[in-house]
Every structure is written in structure tokens, then in C-alpha cells.
């Protein structure tokens, strides 16, 4: 099966990505939840050693492993598969933290659809919670980095409009067209 069906929704933390993914799922599409959030939930229930505010490198390595496992788990699904973040985000985060550049090769071989959708900073809806403890300024810095990383890896980046969730879902689906078979 082609990974051209794998579509990344990325961008600024708190920018409405998870809400958009829920709408796409409601419309019958397959979705993969954000690795980072799942790791934080697991770590809060366990020893907490790989929490991003405890050990960023351990968190990043777990996010990469989970993103790779996610890709394998959905490889045989039909239609569009939407990822709330994914391998590129995890690798970019680890590179920011450690300077490790070998991950770029992995991101060049484990591809997603060429069109990537980035949620811009949206201060009016940004909130922190038990799983998202970083500030809006930190979220904006991450978004700025992703705006450079995805095009450097050959992806076409489309900024999601600050609009209703239905309008955002329509925007994504209109730009993608029919799902490959």
C-alpha cells in the first residue's frame, strides 16, 4: 500500500489539530492520534521518566518509535489516513533538543503525502492542560521550526485557515481530492 494516503496535520500546539482530526474521523476517515499526547498520558500513569518536561531526549526517542509503529499499524487501511503530527515532528523535535541530524534520512525514506497541513498559532483558542504544559511562545517557536522543516524535506505546506472545524476539514479534503486506492 502506498503511504501517499498518509496525510499529516501538524503545526502549532493548541491550534486545533486534534479537533480537526476528530471531525475528519466523524466524516469516516482513519486518524492517528498525536504520539506526544499518548506518551504523556502513559508516562503520567507510570514512572514519568520520558515526560517532555523531565527528559526531552527520551520523550523524542519514544515519539519517533511510536510514529514509526503508527505508520506500520495503519499501512493496510484504505482511503486517507490522517496523522495528528508524526515522524517528522518527532524527529524535528529531537533534532532541536540534541542536534542529531541523522534523523533527516529517516524522514526522507518514511514519507507522507506531499501536502502537509499546518495549524497556525491561534492565541484565542490556545490552552494549557495536564498534558500540554508549555507556553504559547514555546508552541510558536515549534511551529516556526516546522514551517521550515517540512519544506526542506520536500513537502508542500498549506496553512490551515482560522475558521470553523467544518471549514478546516473541507479545506483539507478539497486540496487532497479523492483518496488514492
Ordered structural domains, the chain, with CATH? 3-176 (3.40.50.300)
Return the H-helix or E-strand segment holding 150. helix 136-152
What pLDDT, in 10s, does the model give residues 105-135? 777 888 999 999 999 876 666 565 555 555 6
pLDDT tens, position by position, 133-171? 556 677 788 888 899 999 999 999 999 999 999 999 999
Instruction: Kindly state the average pLDDT of the residues 11-22.
Output: 86
pLDDT tens-digit map of 67-92: 999 999 999 999 999 999 989 988 88
- How many helices (H) and strands (E) are present in the chain, helices listed first? 7, 5
Taking CB atoms within 8 Å and a gap of at least 24, the contacts of 35-38 are 35/62, 35/63, 35/66, 35/67, 35/70, 35/85, 35/86, 35/90, 36/63, 36/85, 36/89, 36/90, 37/84, 37/131, 37/132, 38/66
Q: Mapped to the 3 state alphabet, what secondary structure does 102-130 carry?
A: CHHHHHHHCCCCCEEEEECCCCCCCCCCC
Amino acid at each position: 500500500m502506498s503511504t501517499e494516503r498518509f496525510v499529516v496535520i501538524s503545526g502549532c500546539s493548541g491550534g486545533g489539530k486534534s479537533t480537526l482530526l476528530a471531525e475528519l474521523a466523524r466524516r469516516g476517515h482513519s486518524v492517528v492520534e498525536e504520539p506526544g499526547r499518548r506518551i504523556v498520558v502513559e508516562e503520567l500513569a507510570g514512572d514519568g521518566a520520558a515526560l517532555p518536561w523531565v527528559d526531552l531526549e527520551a520523550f523524542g526517542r519514544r515519539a519517533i518509535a511510536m510514529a514509526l509503529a503508527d505508520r506500520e499499524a495503519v499501512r493496510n487501511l484504505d482511503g486517507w489516513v490522517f496523522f495528528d503530527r508524526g515522524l517528522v515532528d518527532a524527529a524535528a523535535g529531537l533534532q532541536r533538543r540534541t542536534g542529531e541530524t541523522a534523523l533527516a534520512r529517516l524522514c526522507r525514506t518514511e514519507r507522507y503525502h506531499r501536502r502537509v497541513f499546518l495549524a497556525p498559532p491561534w492565541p484565542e483558542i490556545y490552552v494549557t492542560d495536564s498534558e500540554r504544559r508549555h507556553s504559547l511562545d514555546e508552541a510558536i517557536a515549534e511551529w516556526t521550526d516546522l514551517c521550515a522543516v517540512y519544506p526542506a524535506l520536500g513537502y508542500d505546506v498549506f496553512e490551515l485557515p482560522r475558521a470553523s472545524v467544518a471549514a478546516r476539514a473541507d479545506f483539507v479534503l478539497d486540496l487532497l481530492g479523492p483518496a488514492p486506492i
